């Protein structure tokens, strides 16, 4: 007997996802290729972190990013595999227009698409004409409101009318994308009104809607504006996009295109079931990379937990569906099939089979390769896997950084965790900064790792030590995987 749980909203959301089109800015992004085991964002040129706005959701003011070129070597640019460069993801680049012009020249000299990201305030017609002559391809302008009042609340600036006029100007010269951040129960209606206005009064080609990202340093301000408990609700985001489409039929309204399968797999694993059904409940289930109790652990990061419905939503958002009714999801005619490489110990094999069943329930076909130690390490080192048992984070995590976080390659133990250049900068801060800088750097590093999701925890095995009642002073060290015997007394 087959039971299908289905309702009207499921059909509606499926149709919305099916009709989503990738924004031109995301074309060529490695994250759209689900066969790419190690995707990266477009390279970027960062001009400055200075900005004439002070947006309540801005991530740039929470981190420190140096000016420069990220993702390729400016002295020996290897552009193979890249299609574009973004100027820039932090700060307002048009604070220094001449530097932007040089960045455009660099990009076009390397035969890449050039996308400028700006809040639009400093644009003018002469500058737009110069950019056109230099070969700029796309302008992305940030706007998340339809009234000056709401814009001022968001950006802390009276620049609404200027931005709106410059969007009109930009759309006459360039493929213009408006980037908007959705704040639940705050600006939904304004985004719909904004879409209608842009559709009727400009030549804007696309509106790209971003989910709100909440950080520790901006949570207080955001709580007073919208409902942060609804952040990350895919259903609400898709319904908003659908309503905006109805009011702006001439504009491609979409969401940011990115790789979602890793996160879907992380949500699909039933960690408690593995512990209970395979190992008598002895291992402690966890979706953390490292238990938060340890010093410098991920205290503010939300662990991945068993949530098959969210996993299904993420896979649908990534464009996967079962088109031929064989029970396996597919996209562009290719089934979603993953190779899981594990060791040959009974514990490893049993865990792999359980995960295989979890993923099969979602429509993901998993082929297990259970290998003896040497063969498993050789395959792991080549990166010849989709899922692999990886060396766990160990405490104290500072010891782990220079071993497994300085690059994004592979070794005998599986994948490494240097997922972007920012991780390397944070490692340097952790080793050289003051206490406050180190604390902030750890928080940011954990946010990056959990968002990118190169790996996820499944369970941790408890340590047990049995001794007679005449032994006192024994303890497990709080920071390292050692046993501390320094205070032991035998009476």
Other CB atoms within a 10 A radius of the CB of residue 370 amount to 17
Note the pTM of the prediction, 2 decimals: 0.56
Select from 479, 97, 132, 436 the least CA-distant residue to 297: 479
Select from 367, 395, 398, 408 the least CA-distant residue to 484: 395
Other CB atoms within a 10 A radius of the CB of residue 257 amount to 20
Q: What's phi and psi for 117, nearest 5 deg?
A: -110, 120
Q: What is the pLDDT of residues 444-483, one digit of tens each?
A: 899 888 877 888 889 887 666 666 778 777 665 544 445 6
Rg over alpha carbons for the chain, rounded to the nearest Å, is 25
Q: Which two tokens stand for residue 263?
A: 């996160």
What does the pLDDT read at residue 25? 86
- By the 10 Å C-beta count (0-12 exposed, 13-18 middle, 19+ buried), 134 is classed as middle
Q: Give the position of tokens 């400028």.
A: 116
- Give me the chain's average pLDDT, please: 85
Helix, strand, or coil (residue 306): coil
Q: What is the pLDDT of residues 96-148, one digit of tens each?
A: 999 999 999 999 998 899 999 999 999 999 999 999 999 999 999 999 999 99
Q: Residue length, the chain?
A: 491
How far is C-alpha 456 from the geometric centre of its chain's CA atoms? 14
Largest CA distance in the chain: 87
Give the DSSP letter of residue 302.
Answer: P
Name 17's Cβ contacts closer than 8 Å, sequence gap at least 6.
Answer: 238, 316, 317, 319
What does the pLDDT read at residue 4? 32
Answer positive or negative: Cα dihedral of 210, 216, 221, 224: positive
What does the pLDDT read at residue 293? 83
Name 284's Cβ contacts closer than 8 Å, sequence gap at least 6.
Answer: 275, 459, 460, 461, 462
Q: Which H or E element spans position 209?
A: strand 206-211
Contact between 338 and 363 (Cβ < 8 Å): no
Domains identified in the chain and CATH numbers:
8-255 (3.20.20.70), 261-460 (3.10.105.10)
What does the pLDDT read at residue 108? 93
What does the pLDDT read at residue 40? 63
Select from 110, 101, 103 the least CA-distant residue to 133: 101
Q: Give the position of tokens 């297990």.
A: 368
Instruction: Count helices and strands (H / E) in the chain.
Output: 16, 21
What does the pLDDT read at residue 6? 35
Give the DSSP letter of residue 250.
Answer: T
d(CA 77, CA 134): 19
Contact between 63 and 444 (Cβ < 8 Å): yes
How far is C-alpha 459 from the geometric centre of its chain's CA atoms? 23
Q: Give the position of tokens 């490489």.
A: 341
What does the pLDDT read at residue 1? 24
Select from 449, 5, 397, 461 the least CA-distant residue to 266: 449
What does the pLDDT read at residue 488? 79
What does the pLDDT read at residue 38? 54
Contact between 312 and 268 (Cβ < 8 Å): no
Strand boundaries in 406-485, DSSP class E = 410-411, 414-415, 459-460, 471-472, 475-476, 483-484
Q: What is the pLDDT along the chain (491 residues), one digit of tens a residue?
A: 223 333 455 557 666 776 777 788 887 776 655 555 555 667 889 999 999 999 988 877 767 788 999 888 777 777 676 788 999 888 999 999 999 999 999 999 988 999 999 999 999 999 999 999 999 999 999 999 999 999 999 999 999 999 999 999 999 999 999 999 999 999 999 999 999 999 999 999 999 998 887 766 777 778 888 888 777 777 788 889 999 999 999 999 988 654 457 778 888 899 999 999 998 888 889 998 888 888 888 988 888 899 998 888 888 877 788 888 999 998 767 888 999 999 999 989 999 999 999 999 999 999 999 999 999 988 888 888 889 888 888 777 888 888 888 877 788 888 888 877 788 888 999 999 999 999 999 988 998 888 778 888 898 876 666 667 787 776 655 444 456 677 778 88
Name 85's Cβ contacts closer than 8 Å, sequence gap at least 6.
Answer: 42, 43, 44, 45, 71, 72, 103, 106, 107, 110, 112, 113, 114, 115
Whole-number Cα distances in Å, 184 to 24, 156, 196, 198, 233: 26, 19, 19, 21, 9
Select from 322, 325, 255, 186 the least CA-distant residue to 16: 255
What does the pLDDT read at residue 124? 96
What does the pLDDT read at residue 464? 62
DSSP-assigned beta bridge partners for residue 141: 118, 178
């Amino acid at each position: 007997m087959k039971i299908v749980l289905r309702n009207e909203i499921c059909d509606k959301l499926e149709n919305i996802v099916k009709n989503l089109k990738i924004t031109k800015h995301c074309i060529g992004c490695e994250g759209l290729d689900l066969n790419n085991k190690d995707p990266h964002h477009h390279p970027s040129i960062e001009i400055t972190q200075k900005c004439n706005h002070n947006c309540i959701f801005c991530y740039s003011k929470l981190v420190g990013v140096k000016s420069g070129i990220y993702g390729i070597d400016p002295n020996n640019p290897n552009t193979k595999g890249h299609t574009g460069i973004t100027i820039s993801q932090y700060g307002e680049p048009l604070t220094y227009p001449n530097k932007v012009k040089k960045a455009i020249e660099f990009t076009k000299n390397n035969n890449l698409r050039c996308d400028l990201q700006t809040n639009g305030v400093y644009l003018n017609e002469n500058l737009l004409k110069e950019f056109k002559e230099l070969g700029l391809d796309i302008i992305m302008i940030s706007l998340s409101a339809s009234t000056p009042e709401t814009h001022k609340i968001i950006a802390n600036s009276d620049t609404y009318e200027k931005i709106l006029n410059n969007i009109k100007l930009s759309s006459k010269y360039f493929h213009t994308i408006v980037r908007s951040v959705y704040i639940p129960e705050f600006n939904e209606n304004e985004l719909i009104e904004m879409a209608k206005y842009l559709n009727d009064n400009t030549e804007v080609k696309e509106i790209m809607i971003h989910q709100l990202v909440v950080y520790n340093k901006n949570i207080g301000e955001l709580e007073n504006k919208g409902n942060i408990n609804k952040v990350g609700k895919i259903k609400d985001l898709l319904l908003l996009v659908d309503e905006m489409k109805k009011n702006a039929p001439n504009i491609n309204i979409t969401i940011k295109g990115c790789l979602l399968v890793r996160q879907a797999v992380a949500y699909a694993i039933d960690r408690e079931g593995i512990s209970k059904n395979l190992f008598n409940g002895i291992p402690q289930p966890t979706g953390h990379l490292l238990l938060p109790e340890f010093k410098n652990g991920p205290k503010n990061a939300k662990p991945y937990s068993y949530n098959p419905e969210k996993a299904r939503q993420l896979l649908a958002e990534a464009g996967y569906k079962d088109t031929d009714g064989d029970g396996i999801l597919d996209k562009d005619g290719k089934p979603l099939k993953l190779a899981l490489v594990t060791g040959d110990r009974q514990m490893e094999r049993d865990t792999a089979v359980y995960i295989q069943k979890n993923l099969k329930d979602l429509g993901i076909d998993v082929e297990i390769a259970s290998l003896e130690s040497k063969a498993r390490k050789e395959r792991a080192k080549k990166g010849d896997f989709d899922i692999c048992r990886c060396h766990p984070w160990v405490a104290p995590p500072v010891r782990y950084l220079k071993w497994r976080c300085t690059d994004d390659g592979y070794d005998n133990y599986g994948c490494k965790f240097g997922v972007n250049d920012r991780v390397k900068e944070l490692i340097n801060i952790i080793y050289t900064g003051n206490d406050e800088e180190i604390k902030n750097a750890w928080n940011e590093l954990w946010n990056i790792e959990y968002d990118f999701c190169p790996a996820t925890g499944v369970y941790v095995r408890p340590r047990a030590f049995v001794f007679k009642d005449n032994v006192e002073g024994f303890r497990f060290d709080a920071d390292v995987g050692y046993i501390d015997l320094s205070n032991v007394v035998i009476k």
